[in-house]
Amino acid sequence: MKRIATATILLVLLLVTACTQYIYVPLPRPDKNEVVSLTVTETVLVEVNGSLPSTVKATAEYENGNEREVTATVIGTVDTSTQGVKTASAEYDDVRTTFDVTVYAEENVINNSTEVSKIMEDLEDGDIIVIGNDMEFADTAGRTTPFSIPGGKRNITIIGNGATITENAGSSNLFDIDGENIVIDGFNFEMTNSSATQLNLFTIQGTNVTIRNCTFSGTFNVNSGDSSVTRGFEISTGASVTIENCEFRNVRQPAYINTGAYVTILNNVIENTRGWNILADAIIEQMEGNSFEGTNAEDICLNSDAASTLYDEADCIQLSLDNNGCRVNNQELGIIVENGVVISE
């Protein structure tokens, strides 16, 4: 009995000692129940009468500010019986969000360059066009602009779906947009011709035109006195355009923006160019979050080819601050601003 009592006392002492000196405290799991927001990051395409995917790629943001790429579960259904952009829901770690589902018709899928003209000729308001493969275009006798949206057409969306469109012509543009509520999304554009002939991939006369999630690359050499003129866009007087989340590399200019055009330019990357060429009476409705990498002769140039200017020194300072301290050259006023400071008058 004495042995049993002694053993019991020793066991209690060991337990007390272990509990007081070696208490196990589980480490916090930083990803557990800390998601504060969820953003779907992929373009979701569904054919008419098709089914939603079961999961989508997303970015989860945590309470500590960290972000992580995750796979979110799609919840519920949407009506896919007609073309259009529909709203769906997804969930990850008990946090829900909504995202767009683009429903397209099978007959509006373009798989090669020979199909472009027929589908574009038959455009109807509300059509969604999906590019199925990479394509290349070159100058040929009698060639017209492949992607032409005339005035009077409305609510047209053309989705590149990551396709690469190569333009090796010397002068022929790819897109001529004169419609209303037009969206161009998800293309990789390459300009391989290094001749001095002027090439604007897009000419835009339309209203409420949005270009997003596209890349533009060329052969322009900003350091060599290269005289070739390759631009992403020429935006005409009266047009209204939003350019967002795009990249421009080795093209002479991301865009030439004429007097009286209305532009919103957000979160683009510009590298090795001569910068945005904005005539002094163009209307900059919003220009923020743009980054300038490598060598750019100018970042933003407010051109003097206009009778007056809408942008004073304070405007130029704010433009610089809103766009990562970029260089703003206001030729009309004769000032240069960098990092929000006037460095030359």
For 35-67, write each residue's pLDDT tens digit: 999 999 999 999 999 999 999 999 999 999 899
- pLDDT at residue 15, rounded to an integer: 45
Q: How many of the other CB atoms lie within 10 Å of CB of 121?
A: 8
Q: What is the tens place of the pLDDT at every residue in 164-185?
A: 999 876 667 899 999 999 999 9
Q: What is the tens place of the pLDDT at every residue in 222-269?
A: 988 888 888 999 999 999 999 999 999 999 999 999 999 999 999 999
Kindly indicate the confidence band of residue 195, based on its pLDDT and cuts at 50, 70 and 90: low
pTM (2 decimals)? 0.85
Sole residue written with tokens 């333009």? 167
- pLDDT at residue 151, rounded to an integer: 93
- pLDDT at residue 27, rounded to an integer: 47
Domain check: are 48 and 62 in the same one?
A: yes
Instruction: Say if 13 falls within a structural domain.
Output: no
Q: What percent of the chain stands above pLDDT 90?
A: 74
Tokens of 118: 């027929």
Instruction: Say if 4 falls within a structural domain.
Output: no
- pLDDT at residue 197, rounded to an integer: 67
Q: What is the largest CA-CA distance in the chain?
A: 111
Q: Break the chain down into helix, strand, coil percent, rounded to 5.
A: 10, 45, 45
Domain check: are 119 and 74 in the same one?
A: no
Tokens of 330: 């206001």
Tokens of 107: 């007959």
Residue 46's φ and ψ, nearest 5 degrees, are -135, 130
Q: How far is CA 63 from CA 36, 162, 291, in A?
A: 6, 32, 27
Measured distance CA(240)–CA(180) in Å, rounded: 9
Domain check: are 90 and 222 in the same one?
A: no
Domain check: are 64 and 133 in the same one?
A: no
Domain check: are 49 and 142 in the same one?
A: no
Domain check: are 52 and 176 in the same one?
A: no
Domain check: are 92 and 237 in the same one?
A: no
Q: What is the tens place of the pLDDT at every residue in 83-125?
A: 999 999 999 999 999 999 999 999 999 999 889 989 999 999 9
Domain check: are 177 and 70 in the same one?
A: no
Residue that finishes a domain, picked among 103, 126, 149: 103
Measured distance CA(105)–CA(177) in Å, rounded: 22
- pLDDT at residue 13, rounded to an integer: 44
Domain check: are 336 and 272 in the same one?
A: yes
Domain check: are 76 and 144 in the same one?
A: no
Q: Report how far apart the first and last C-alpha atoms of the chain are (Å, whole number).
A: 101
Measured distance CA(216)–CA(190) in Å, rounded: 6
Tokens of 207: 């209203």
Domain check: are 243 and 309 in the same one?
A: yes
Mean pLDDT of 8-24: 47
Residue that finishes a domain, picked among 76, 103, 130: 103
Instruction: Say if 10 falls within a structural domain.
Output: no
Q: Which residues of 45-76 are buried (b: 16+ CB within 10 A; e: fewer)?
A: bbebeeebeeebebebbbeeeeeeebebebee
135: closest CA among 189, 94, 98?
189
Residue that finishes a domain, picked among 88, 103, 118: 103
Domain count, the chain: 2
- The mean predicted confidence, pLDDT, of the chain is 88
- pLDDT at residue 17, rounded to an integer: 47
Domain check: are 98 and 110 in the same one?
A: no
Kindly indicate the confidence band of residue 299, based on its pLDDT and cuts at 50, 70 and 90: very high
Residue 117's φ and ψ, nearest 5 degrees, are -60, -40
Domain around 75: 35-103
- pLDDT at residue 144, rounded to an integer: 80
Q: What is the tens place of the pLDDT at every residue in 325-345?
A: 999 999 988 999 999 999 987
Q: What percent of the chain stands above pLDDT 70?
A: 86
